[in-house]
Amino acid sequence: MTSKTVAGDGHEQRAARRERAVRAAVEQGLLGPAEPVAGLLDVAGIRATAAELRTAFDEIVAPGTPVLHAFAVKAAALVPVLRLLADEGLGCEVASPGELALARAAGVPPERIVLDSPAKTAAELREALRLGIAVNADNPQELERLDALIEPRGGAAPAAPHGRFGLRVNPQLGGGSIDALSTATATSKFGFALQDPGARDRVVRAFAERPWLTRLHAHVGSQGIPLELMAAGVRATYELAEEINAAAGRRQIDTLDIGGGLPVNFDSDVFTPGYREYARLLLTTVPGLFDGRYELVTEFGRSLLAKSGTVLARVEYAKSAGGRPIAVTHAGAQLATRTVFAPESWPLRIAAYDATGRPKQTAPGGLVAQDVAGPCCFAGDLVARDRPLPQLAAGDLVGLLDTGAYYFSNHFAYNSLPRPGIYGFTVDGGEVRFATVRSPQTVEEIVTESGGDYAGSLVDF
Ligand SMILES: *Cc1c(COP(=O)(O)O)cnc(C)c1O
């Protein structure tokens, strides 16, 4: 294979790069008996996806319109990933002090950071104002906290005369196929619920009373939301901004933050729907949004990283129970938490490899329906049930595909299983090079995190 076949951003090239990286991970010892699970990230794939996002919006906005693509940090809370995305011109959407610290550690400047959590403490708000990051207020009580910081009584200097403050609204347009990720239902916990009686007037008044409020924000949901519903949420937000600006008699709202949520296809290597498709739909649904009067912020997460990540895990044992073959691997609920607990909503493709990292050949008898289990001590710890795969054996490997977002950076510390190492890879001609994104968690670190320094504290009271 030449470098030509693995460069580029078509889905065949991505798949080819992944296969090369799996083999190289075994050859270079990233994965083996001592390190039975690792996460791999395709650096060229991430760069290509970021470029697709930029291009999709550049193609529809009036020339010169500022657009900030703020990556939703929760989707891949890894400092080198945030730095890579910053190198591609992206910022960060953060929702906790930890995520904010990661963005800052990655060198993302405050003017490219947006804070969105629904439960910001007073201290977090003060810190946000001090840094000058954008803040989207979630509810009336939070707005009152901002009032106290921005317009302090008794003539004290305002904390942030030039801040960028917005309101998150919930257009209450309905949910998608995954309840837990649908943020625009009638009773969603996020934002100002626009269709509740009197709510719209209260929002318009909130802006009239606060000249420093200059943004509106909506995020209609993640995964499972139809594109048309996402676009309708953006239209509702835009229409509200127009109403507020008309009431103010000026362009008080100068920025619209349209959230993220582009769904990912977990069925194949094809990247669909793409950013261009969504951008075109937005342009036809809300043309006024792109005529240059509003700055734009987006907050994509899953769609930027999912297709560039693979969890690779060794099959420790291959057994059988009740006639069902079971491959016991090192990738289970600690990494693929949603897939294990909500398998209908979060199915994953599983690739089977032999111990050298080459695609596992199908035996003459054909594919065999198998369970692919994880290492956690509960019966439901399965990443695939009854899945037709080449018959797996001890020492083989499985790849959990499309897991670059919300999988290996959202660890679930069940059974004190370690966070695996994560490695970025590039494929250049015949050579695969890896860079450490996160080293594997050590047993010593687990002991420390688990109160190891206070071993006697409960008996020595
Ligand atoms: C999670 C989240 C996002 C990102 O959603 P994706 O589905 O990963 O694109 C964006 N904005 C907010 C407010 C979020 O909570």
- In 3D, which of 382, 363, 310 has the Cα closest to residue 23? 310
Going by alpha carbons, the residue nearest to atom 2 of ligand 1 is 72
Q: How far is the CA of 113 from the centre of ligand 1 (A)?
A: 14
280 shares its domain with 359? no
Check residue 1 and give its pLDDT. Answer: 38
Pick from 260, 281, 304: which residue ends a domain? 304
Please check whether residue 171 lies inside any domain of the structure: yes
309, 41 contact by CB (below 8 A):
yes
How many domains does the chain divide into? 2
User: How far, in Å, from the CA of 209 to the mean position of ligand 1?
Assistant: 29
Residues with beta carbon inside 6 Å of ligand 1?
Answer: 72, 74-75, 93, 116, 219, 222-223, 259-262, 299-303
In a domain, 34, yes or no: no
Q: What pLDDT sits at residue 155?
A: 67
Range of the domain at 202: 44-304
Q: What is the pLDDT of residue 8?
A: 57
Q: Is position 38 within any domain? A: no
For residue 207, give the CATH number of its domain: 3.20.20.10
Does 299 share its domain with 354? Answer: no
Confirm whether 391 is domain-assigned. Answer: yes
If you measure from the C-alpha of residue 221 to the centroid of ligand 1, how many angstroms do you get, rounded to a whole number? 7
Q: In this structure, is residue 256 part of a structural domain?
A: yes
Same domain? 268 vs 391: no
pLDDT of residue 21: 98
Residue 118 structure tokens: 């629904």
Given 304, 328, 357, which residue is the final one in a domain?
Answer: 304
Same domain, 67 and 162: yes
- Flag whether 71 is in a domain: yes
Element (DSSP H or E) covering residue 284: helix 275-285
pLDDT, one tens digit per residue, over 292-317 is 999 999 999 999 999 999 999 999 99
Q: What is the pLDDT of residues 22-60, one digit of tens each?
A: 999 999 999 988 899 999 999 999 999 999 999 999 999
Whether residues 228 and 284 share a domain: the answer is yes
Q: Output the CA angle 101-104-105, nearest 5 degrees.
A: 85
- Same domain as 372, residue 335: yes
Backbone angles phi, psi at 418, to 5 degrees: -75, 150
In this predicted structure, what is the pLDDT of residue 442? 97
Mutate to test the pocket of ligand 1, among 49, 93, 190 (most ligand atoms within 8 A of CB): 93
Q: What are the E-state strand segments in 289-347?
A: 295-298, 309-321, 324-329
Identify which of 300, 268, 262 has the alpha carbon closest to the alpha carbon of residue 281. Answer: 262
For tokens 């139809």, name the residue: 226
Q: Are residues 394 and 381 in the same domain?
A: yes
- Domain check: are 243 and 135 in the same one? yes
Same domain? 326 vs 421: yes
Residue where a domain stops, chosen among 249, 274, 304:
304
- Residues in the chain predicted with pLDDT less than 50, given as ranges, are 1-5
Q: What is the pLDDT of residue 5?
A: 43
CATH of the domain at 383: 2.40.37.10
Residues 399 and 294 in one domain: no
The model's pTM: 0.95
Q: Which helix (H) or strand (E) holds 298?
A: strand 295-298
Rounded Cα–Cα distance for residues 41 and 377 (Å) = 28
Say how many Å lie between the first and final Cα of the chain, rounded. Answer: 66
Indicate whether 313 and 288 sit together in one domain: no
User: How many angstroms separate the alpha carbon of residue 440 from the centre of ligand 1?
Assistant: 27
C-alpha 262 – ligand 1 centre gap (Å) = 9
Report the distance separating Cα 232 and Cα 442, nearest Å. 47
Shared domain check, 256 and 110: yes
- Give domain status of residue 18, yes or no: no
Q: How far apart are CA 449 and CA 210, in angstroms?
A: 44
Residue type, 209: E
Q: Is 17 domain-assigned?
A: no
